[in-house]
Amino acid sequence: MLTGNDSVSDYPLTPPFGFRRSLVVFNVLGNENIKSGASCYRNDSSSRAPVTASSTVAYFCTLFDLALRMMTPSSCDTFVALPPCTEGQRVIFGKNSDRPCDEVQEVVFFPSRHYSTGEKVECTYIEIEQVAYTHAVVLSRPAWLWGAEMGANEHQVCIGNEAVWGRESADNKEALLGMDLVRLALERADSAEKALNVIVELLEKHGQGGNCMEDECTFTYHNSFLICDRNEAWVLETSGKYWAAERVENGYRNISNQYSITTKIDKEHPRMREYAREQGWWDGKVAFSFAEVYSFMTTARIEAAGGRYCEGRRLLEKSKGHITADTMMDILRDKESGINMEGMFMTTGSMVSVLPKDQSLPGVHYFTATPDPERSVFKPFIFVADIKPLNQTCSPCFGEDDPVKKKPRFQNKPNRKHPLFIKHEVVAAIIDSTREKGQRIVQKMQELEKQKMADMEKYLTTGVEDSTLLVHLFSNTVDEELRVYSKA
């Protein structure tokens, strides 16, 4: 029996639950053209002098950066499947958020809201103009920042973002994070294409940049986005302020940590090709492929590498014509492919959404709010009126005393664990260390998830007659999950 006094230290641990470290990352692809004045050292062979961090921190940054140059880039995986690849005339969206293994990811709900003229919104690093009205959103996000890794809004728009690197260096200057852009688009757009337009307009006006990790040393990247609604999907890939977008009207699509848009470009930055020609990346004669021109390596080399992007596409192809929410959850739980990531970067949160093309039927959005989907429960959320805060998956708020808000930033890390995370952390340790007991816990978790998915199928098929029954849907499922843990 778990009690409120139980802690991870009470059980023999294996990584990632027993692995703590000060994670220090620069540019995972080893970009030799980093233009970051706030990194822990200058990236040139003639000088390794500290810039803003202490010499000790700079030393370990250097060692860690060298180690990362020998590693495969770490990022997330986002998927979408549309009819005729899915069953039941539904769009299926899914994402794993791969982040530092000691980072807490929370699931939060914000209702729709009206604002007065001239109001501002404070994002992770910068303040921008607020719009007159924001839509209700449910978000899965690293607990230290304002934006989100993934989420949905009341109009059934879903967005996930990915870290990407290329020839253009990632900017360390504080601007909008890709995760800020995810939330802003969900709050301001009622369709996938409008969400894309929101992102590129904000990108042009405010730029993207800043440390993407709660750490004194910097981790910067550009962003790609997979955006969908009930009817279509868009892939948006950015490099600085330049971008290209591809429309997806049927079939399936996935994105990972490299550029994937080639010659099918349905929207683009007006100077995207001209800029590439000025930089000498494209001669203007061969067919323009965004991935080949803006990447370090060609699409052919990416394909040959057999990484998570290719594995994700293979898994989607395997179930083509029969893709369901179960299928997507199985893909997100797949460890052999690397999609369910373990180690210093691991899958810290997962999301699957089911969007019927029939406008009269609700969308159902499943979130884990805990690491490793293989050892987590996907819990359903449906947009209805009067949803209350999701307290059990909401992390503590530190207000103006938060180390993220103070400059210099990230001088320490407060405890951001939410109630579900705390209990799940203990249970995950038991699953790792006690075979029979761990199997019983996992079985109970699977039974809970299966029952909830069966319940949701009724709403997805016949609609919602009494919305008051769904006001506490997600929170009640979290309570049921906690009861499973308490009986462990």
- pLDDT tens string 91-146: 999 999 999 999 999 999 999 999 999 999 999 999 999 999 999 999 999 999 99
- Do 83 and 358 touch, CB atoms closer than 8 A? no
pLDDT tens across 69-85, in order?
334 446 699 999 999 99
Q: Which residues make Cβ contacts (< 8 Å) with residue 240, sequence separation at least 6?
A: 168, 171, 207, 208, 222
- Which entry of 76, 85, 101, 158 is annotated as an active-site residue? 76
The answer to whether residue 306 scores a pLDDT higher than 50 is no
The answer to whether residue 64 scores a pLDDT higher than 50 is no
Burial string for 11-30 (b: 16+ CB within 10 Å, else e) reads bebeebbeeeeebbbbbbbb
The answer to whether residue 44 scores a pLDDT higher than 60 is no
The pair of structure tokens assigned to 282 is 């494209």
**Range 2-17 average pLDDT:** 34
The pLDDT-based confidence of 217 (bands split at 50, 70, 90) is confident
Query: Could you tell me which of 172, 165, 176 has the C-alpha nearest to residue 200?
Result: 176
**What is the pLDDT of the chain when averaged over all its residues?**
86
The secondary structure of 403-451 as a DSSP string is TTTSSS--SS------HHHHHHHHHHHHHHH-HHHHHHHHHHHHHHHHH
- Other CB atoms within 10 Å distance of the CB of residue 89: 13
Query: Which pLDDT does position 68 carry in this prediction?
Result: 40
Q: How far apart are CA 374 and CA 56, in angstroms?
A: 38
Q: Which residues make Cβ contacts (< 8 Å) with residue 446, sequence separation at least 6?
A: none
DSSP letter at 373? G
**Alpha-carbon torsion (57, 63, 69, 74), positive or negative:** negative
**Range 185-189 average pLDDT:** 99
Query: Could you tell me which of 101, 136, 132 has the C-alpha nearest to residue 116?
Result: 132
Known active-site residue 397? no
pLDDT tens across 328-350, in order?
999 999 999 999 999 999 999 99
**Alpha-carbon torsion (30, 35, 36, 41), positive or negative:** positive
Q: How far apart are CA 92 and CA 457, in angstroms?
A: 14
The pLDDT-based confidence of 218 (bands split at 50, 70, 90) is confident
Q: How far apart are CA 160 and CA 149, in angstroms?
A: 6
User: Percent of the chain scored above 90 by pLDDT?
Assistant: 79
Query: Could you tell me which of 407, 383, 296 has the C-alpha nearest to residue 112?
Result: 383
Q: How far apart are CA 268 and CA 258, in angstroms?
A: 18
Q: Where are the domains of the chain?
A: 77-401, 419-486
Query: Which pLDDT does position 45 carry in this prediction?
Result: 33
Query: Which pLDDT does position 75 carry in this prediction?
Result: 66
**Range 419-430 average pLDDT:** 97
Q: How far apart are CA 242 and CA 176, in angstroms?
A: 15
**Alpha-carbon torsion (324, 337, 255, 474), positive or negative:** positive
pLDDT tens across 454-476, in order?
999 999 999 999 999 999 999 99
3-state secondary structure at position 139: strand
One-letter amino acid for residue 365 of the chain: H
User: Percent of the chain scored above 70 by pLDDT?
Assistant: 83
Burial string for 225-236 (b: 16+ CB within 10 Å, else e) reads bbbbbbebbbbb
187 backbone φψ class: left, alpha, beta (φ>0; ψ -120 to 50)? alpha
The answer to whether residue 41 scores a pLDDT higher than 80 is no
3-state secondary structure at position 382: coil
**Burial of 330 from C-beta contacts in 10 A (0-12 / 13-18 / 19+):** middle
- Partner residues linked to 108 by β-bridges: 139
CATH number (3.10.20.740, 3.40.50.1220, 3.60.60.10, 3.90.550.10) of 77-401 reads 3.60.60.10
pLDDT tens across 134-183, in order?
999 999 999 999 999 999 999 999 999 999 999 998 888 999 999 999 99
